[in-house]
Amino acid sequence: MSTTISSIGVLGAGQMGLGIAQVAARAGFPTVLVKATPGDVGALRQKVEGAWAREVEKGRMTAEEQAAALGRLTITTDFGALAKSDLIIESIVEDIARKHEAFARLDAICGPQAIFTSNTSTLGITSMAVGTKRPARFLGLHFFNPAPAMKLVEVASTVVTEPGLADAVAEVVTKLGKTPVRVKDTTGFVVNRLLVPYMLDAMRVLADSGAGIADIDTAMCNGAAHPMGPFTLADFIGLDVVFHMANNLHDEYREPRFAPPPVLTRLVLANQLGRKTKLGFYDYAQKPPRPNAGI
């Protein structure tokens, strides 16, 4: 079956989905972005226009390139608009039941040649693939946040992936200006399997060492040359996302180091989720942000 990929569809218009669609359209692919929940899509297009206008102002994009990229990008709530996409990247909520439902809908409208991929960070690719009519044409395609800036994409094959498919998708990733890394379908792939326990260990060090939140972040930035400390990073990702990734890893491997520490559980229960709620390990109502006084 053909592995020609000349058009891209993205399902899910949250921060990740919107960013992936921007990358695809800017790289020259006709791109359809489908908002998976009801609501107006005008604000989404305004976000893209604003982001690219800033790129033009900085000299990173010409006005002609901006106009051409906008012309390649369709934003809609109509699932049917994905019917002719060669490669579909799912980027909806990290809930396996919701993903199964979404792929069932896509199966009903897409031709057999369409390649399905999921941007999941920790859910099993095989479990999604075998629930479709095309398990051999299903991959993991994990972008990192923010998608327009981050270079890495993990390309995850399963035991039933069609030979050569991952190579074809990795080639597209390169055309998007990203760096593909080939991985197997294992929970957390490479980055999150290493990164999540790092952040969880920092939370345990906070409880045990006497060092404060800002002290630990400073230590890892200045002592290990990390661009941001573990608490700043966790707040940036979203503490609810970190919590769910930790639980998924713990469910898979049953290793104590993957279990969410109590402080993370309490913050998630209190809806203190980091930057997006203005309060997490840091209080973002303060300028500059200061450690959360309630921890």
pLDDT tens per residue, range 87-121: 999 999 989 999 999 999 999 999 999 999 999 98
CA angle, residues 169, 175, 180, in degrees to nearest 5: 55
Query: What is d(CA 136, CA 133) in angstroms, rounded to the nearest whole number?
Result: 9
Contacts of 253 (CB under 8 A, 6+ apart): 187
Model pLDDT, residue 293: 96
Catalytic residues: 121, 142, 154, 192
Q: Is the link from the previous residue into 288 a cis peptide, with omega within 30 of 0?
A: yes
Q: Strands 8-11, 31-34: parallel, antiparallel or unpaired by DSSP?
A: parallel
pTM of the model as a whole:
0.92
In the block, residue with structure tokens 């890892």: 220
β-pair partners for 251: none
Residue 188 amino acid letter: G
Contact 261, 200 (CB under 8 A): yes
Model pLDDT, residue 3: 82
- For the four alpha carbons of 59, 63, 64 and 70, in that order, the dihedral sign comes to positive
pLDDT in tens, the chain (295 residues): 668 899 999 999 999 999 999 999 999 999 999 999 998 999 999 999 999 999 999 999 999 999 999 999 999 999 999 999 999 999 999 899 999 999 999 999 999 999 999 999 889 999 999 999 999 999 999 999 999 999 999 999 999 999 999 999 999 999 999 999 999 999 999 999 999 999 999 999 999 988 999 999 999 999 999 999 999 999 999 999 999 999 999 999 999 999 999 999 999 999 999 999 999 999 999 999 999 999 9
Query: What is d(CA 184, CA 264) in angstroms, rounded to the nearest whole number?
Result: 29
Going from the N-terminus, what domains does the chain have, and what CATH number goes with each? 8-184 (3.40.50.720), 192-291 (1.10.1040.10)
In the block, residue with structure tokens 């990164």: 195
- CA 19 centroid distance within chain: 9
Model pLDDT, residue 1: 65
